[in-house]
Structure 1
Amino acid sequence: MASTPGNQKATHSENSQGKKSQHAEEAIFYMNCRAAYLTVFKSSLENIKSKEQLSLGLCALFEWCFFSFEHFCSFLKGFSWKPPLSECHLGSEIFFFYLQFCELYLTTSEQCCKAARDRLETDPRMRQQHFGNQTENSSEGISLPVPKPSPRVSRNTDHKLPKGVYIPYILCFLSGGDEALARVFVSFFSDYSRSTKLIVDWQHAQCRGCFYLEEDGEIISHKYRLHLAQRSAVCVTIRPCSIPQAQRKSCHWLSVDTALFILKENETQENLQLVSFTELQNKEMFGWRGELGAGVYWLLPFTTGCRLRKVKTQISGEAQLVWRDEDGELALTKEFRAALLEIFETLDLDGNGLLSLEEYNFFELRTSGEKCDQEAWAVCKENFEMKKNELTRQGFLDLNLMEANDRDGDPWDLWVTLLSLGYNKTLEMTEACPFVIDISAERCKPRIKAISLEAGGSQLSRAVCSSVLSKGEAKVLDGSENIFIYTYRSGSRITSVIENKSENKVIIHVNNEQSKNCMNNRGLTVFAVEVAPKSMMVSQHVMALNEQEEWIYSCVHSLVC
């Protein structure tokens, strides 16, 4: 049926008003967004660079904006839920706590929905108000959905939580290790169920460090001492560190595996007892949770060497480090300045934006083998920018520029520094891996301090072997009742240890030819291992060559002599 001119005019008027209203709403929306953005940043031209900044911006937006029920429904429609996690994602131990968390969440959600339905059914005015145009006499009828348990999560579990609720730890892992996001989760669920007694205010400490690859392939790293004033539930994580200056380029080290071994100091530093290690995994982060008694602990960082290793690559050309300006004065190139700022972030172990004498001495020991004493530090204070007796970023840049001036522009010493810190001739960090350690304790403030920069040595070797013997599967080597092969398997790596209980040394042939999509720390498919009498040693560490594809580990050990 054709429309009349009057109807067309009315329709045009309604459309025009509708467009004006829509434009007005959009203008208000963008104004509120801009206002929220400017509560976090100085300008709307600045970019969000972290989850914490995003969280602050969203919080500000909710304070500025008015949300109707229709807005709320639209928001939920656009929200995408992640699929349920499985045991292979979290590991068997944390999956037990994840099930309990799901049980708590689903139970709480059902109780909230039931309470909301009861209120709507007993108060018709509220029901009409909440459903807008849907009146009490609507023929369609609307009911709130009741959440159903995930088919992958069993609701009939008789497991019980151990002493102390570790839900905050789980939330920390589910949030990717982001403390601010984890706290949002904790606050959200605690608002719905105060009876869960979720722990939010654990005390926190953080320290950075780095793995460095030596010329002979050995890996050295910082070692740490942890002090707890009293017995406490503790959460420890380690992960490769994302340096702000390097976020715009490919960072090789972010794929390097990390782990942390926790050892208890008893009477002497040599007498260290393995407590545990970080075997829980979320992406590149590894963690451990448990209860530690009061005392001193050693934290030994570890990487398998599968992804941090010497790689022969042909590099054409060499990056320029310094140049001369119009007045003939030396200056650092843009690329070299960026590399030095990356190095500064790696050296800044406490993350305060300054280098203390202790932090700077790790740099000196790594690059020159010598320490800077208090007298030399006083000279640095006179010549380079410092704050609170600590070297600033600009001071660190000027110090390296002075070194270039001392050599009249010859970059040889500068390259010695760069190569010792894991950089190649194109100023890429390929033979080092910065990492960050986070520690949270329930009952006391954890204190962590870097005490050395050296190879793991016998302490780390014993810790790795002990962890494999306690967690791995044991198998007697065919043809010898005194040789045992222990294999530890996790979601990201496999480690095998050979124990020789005989009185003679043995040579074991190791064959990985049947493995698929695998790489090991030795860089060889077939090799031999010599094991001293009455001792044990790591045979190999194995990881996936391509993490996006299936990998199959098939290794045959045989006795040579």
Structure 2
Amino acid sequence: MSYLDSSEVADEEETFYMQCRAAFLSVFRSSLTNISSKKELCRVLQLAGRNPSQATLDKYWNPGTTHMNFDDFCEILKREWKTENDLMGIFKKLDANGDGYITQSQVEKLLTTGGDKMTPEEVKAIFSLSDINRDDRFNYAEFCRQLVSTAEKCQMASLEKLQSDAKLKRQNFGSHPDSPPKASVTSGSSPPQPPETTWSDPEITLRKGNSRPLSRPSSARSRRSSLSHSVTATSSVSKQWYRSCVRGSFFLEEDGAISSLQYQLHLPQTSNVSLSFVTHLNFDKCKPLFSGDTEEDSTLLCFTSTKDKEKYIWRGQLKAGMYYLLPFSSGCRLKKRSRKNVSNRSVELVYKTDTGRLDLTRDFREALSEIFYMIDLDGNGLLSLEEYNFLELMISGEECKMGTWAICKDNFDMRENQLTKQGFMELTLMEATDGDTDDLWTLVETMGYNRMLELVEACPFQIDILCESTQPSVQPLRLDSGSKILNQALQKSITLEGAVKQLKGQDNVLIYTYRGEHRVSSLIVNKSNQKVTVRINNKHNSNCCSSRGLNVFAIEVPARTKMVCQHVLPINEKQDWTYSCVETLLSSK
């Protein structure tokens, strides 16, 4: 395939997903919301320019279906295309003389007896269109054209709404359904492909060393937290691929720092592995850093370096053992808003019904559905005590005890000792005692929402792991231990991958600079016995933004320590960008 051909395919895919998002967000507040009924499925398909029959709806929404997500919707759109040619073929079979017309009685019999039967009223409405029904002669070509034209108008209306509504643009949460990568590893033979491989080649860097392994913190939950199932690849040699996935979110703290859960991956045996990381907002280059912790290889460090839309990929062979999965965001684009730019407006969270009881508003219910998605780490549609405690620790710093959880079981909707989404709604409503919503606003703002219930200080993500012939398991680490592990791994990755130079005037101070395709990261290593202050000047950079948010700033580095200096991203990825930072010594004491 030529470069031009591949570019055209990429453009077509981008257009397709834009149409998917436009249709979905015309019906739902965000693409984290699930389709909960066949009627909703029909509506979003119509807004995507399709005209689904009852048989089509029944095919995808069977009696056992309870919900569909945005990815499911995209997959349906890939399979169901516009039906003008199919309809024309049916009508032509009835057109004996081939003049483009059939009788009204033929049409009425066709529409009321075969396939998705219409009511007499619906048939009458079709016949009322004078330009397709004249003198008992039905112009079926014109009817098909109008049918497709109406579908296209629905699609165009949803696209125009998406493009004109900045708020909907920001709420681009849904992950695009893609398949595992199809690339060779930089060293060794190429491992077999996961099922339905379609990704481009990843640039993988594996580095090994003899440093002391990182300590293993206690886990916040059991390994059952990962959602797992197997996939059988259809090839000349049948291979069994096993999948686990885990969710999380980046959160912007009060001091501007970014926090998230970190994870530990366990592989029972050596396996070919495909890992992907999807963010649900486009504000930053968010990718996971993988750190090995096996007896033979305790310092395997690598970033996911291949990007396919908003999915970051790593692929290769890993030995049996434990590995840290460390979601990382540069922090260049997710920043605290200044007080003067924060609106004083706020929406209502609860209201009184006609009977005088309190209930959650529609907007708040939708926001709570998104919050439920973020803390449902294993994606099973239920909140375990461990998952719920993740929320409690963020809000109050305290965990919910087993006794309190047992009380919840007696009062709120639960299944298998886990809280359902409805139970989560009921529990949240209980917090609004006598209409006091202070606790509710604490929940909302802790999870990254503003007073208009817009998600502005958090970014949900999902990590998927595919392993060949062995079942992987993933478990979150405690909040208080994960950040330390991430910082250690990040420092190590910069020293392994980056170029090094001595700071002018101080031989014991080293500057490591990692230069990637989409990111630059620098690290200051102070080997001296004195604290040093280093001045950082980014004024010579072009088309760059820094995680520090400043062109010129100073960093104090204590004696015999390492400190990440900054991360830098291009402001506009489609334009050239130049990193020419100048570091100078201000003082040492």
Report Cα offsets for 1:445-467 as digits up to 9, x if no partner: 00001132247443222211111
Match of 1:520 among 515, 524, 546: 546
Task: Choose from 236, 253, 256 the match for 2:275.
Answer: 236
What amino acid does structure 2 have at the position aligned with 1:201? Q
Mapped contact 2:263–2:325 kept (Cα < 8 A): yes
The yes-or-no answer on 1:220 pairing with 2:259 is yes
Match of 1:501 in 2: 527
Q: Deviations over 1:73-129 (max 9, x none)?
A: xxxxxxxxxxxxxxxxxxxxxxx975x7xxxxxxxxxxxxxxxxxxxxxxxxxxxxx
Moved more, 520-529 or 492-501: 492-501
Q: Does 1:317 align with 2:317?
A: no
Shift in alpha-carbon separation, 1:97–1:317, aligned structure 2, 3 A: closer
Q: Is the 8 A contact 1:219 1:455 kept in 2?
A: no
Q: How does 1:169-188 map to 2 (within 5 A)?
A: 171-174=197-200
Same amino acid, percent of matched pairs: 40
Q: How far does residue 36 in structure 1 lie from its aligned partner after superposition?
A: 4.5
**Gaps (5+ residues) in structure 2?**
1-49, 90-180, 203-230
**1:485 aligned to which of 511, 516, 530:** 511
- Measure, in 2, the Cα distance between the counterparts of 1:475 and 1:335: 53
Residues 515/450 of structure 1: CA separation in 2 closer, same or farther (3 Å cut): same
CA distance in 2, matches of 1:402, 1:227: 39
Partner residue of 2:395 out of 351, 364, 367: 367
1:362 shift after superposition = 0.7
After TM superposition, the score normalised by the length of structure 1 is: 0.66
Partner of 1:351: 379
Is residue 2:575 matched to residue 1:545?
Answer: no
Tell me the distance in 1 between the aligned counterparts of 2:332 and 2:479: 21
- Determine which of 302, 318, 322 is the counterpart of 1:276: 302
**CA deviation string 1:430-477 (max 9, x = no partner):** 111111111111131000011322474432222111111111222233
Name the aligned partner's letter for residue 386 of structure 2. Answer: E
| CA–CA distance in structure 1, aligned partners of residues 52 and 408 of structure 2 | 49
State the Cα deviation string for residues 189-229 of structure 1 (Å, max 9, x = none).
x5xxx5xx6x8632110000112222112222112221111
Deviation per residue, 1:137-175 (Å, 9 max, x gap):
xxxxxxxxxxxxxxxxxxxxxx99832435449935349
Contact kept in structure 2, 1:32 and 1:65, CA below 8 Å: no
For these two proteins, the number of residue pairs brought into alignment is 411
Whichever of the two has the greater Rg, that structure is 1
Normalising by structure 2, we get a TM-score of: 0.63
Name the structure 2 match of 1:412. 438
Task: Classify 1:266/1:295 alpha carbon distance in 2 versus 1 (closer, same or farther; 3 Å).
Answer: closer
Report if the CA contact (8 A) 2:249-2:459 is conserved: yes
2:59 aligned with 1:39: yes
Whole-angstrom distance in 2 between the partners of 1:490 and 1:413: 43
Of 405, 418, 421, the residue aligned with 1:393 is: 421
Task: Report SS of the residue matched to 2:424.
Answer: helix
Paired AA for residue 520 in structure 1: S
What amino acid maps onto 2:265 in structure 1? L
> What residue in structure 1 maps to residue 27 of structure 2?
none
SS of residue in 1 equivalent to 2:490: helix
Distance 1:519 1:57, change over 3 A: closer
SS at match of 1:39: helix
Please state how far the C-alpha of 1:266 moved relative to its aligned partner. Answer: 5.8
Change (3 A) 1:58 1:410: closer
Check if 1:461 corresponds to 2:487: yes
Q: What SS class does the counterpart of residue 338 from structure 1 fall into? A: helix
Q: Which amino acid aligns with 1:348?
A: D
Q: Aligned AA for 1:523?
A: G
Q: Write the letter of the residue equivalent to 2:416.
A: K
Q: CA deviation at 1:50?
A: 4.5
Residue 515 of structure 1 and its aligned partner are, at CA, apart by: 1.3
Cα distance between partner residues in 1 of 2:81 and 2:193: 28
Alignment of 1:5-20 (within 5 A): none
- Secondary structure of the corresponding residue to residue 282 of structure 2: helix
> Aligned-pair RMSD on alpha carbons?
3.6
Other structure's SS at 2:332 match: coil
Question: Partners in 2 of 1:438 and 1:340 — Cα distance?
Answer: 24
Per the alignment, residue 130 of structure 1 pairs with: none
- 2 CA distance for matches of 1:32 and 1:504? 72
Cα distance, 1:53 vs structure 2: 4.8
1:558 aligns with 2:584: yes
Q: Structure 1: state its 5+ residue gaps.
A: 1-29, 69-95, 101-158, 177-182, 242-252
Alignment of 1:530 with 2:550, yes or no, is no
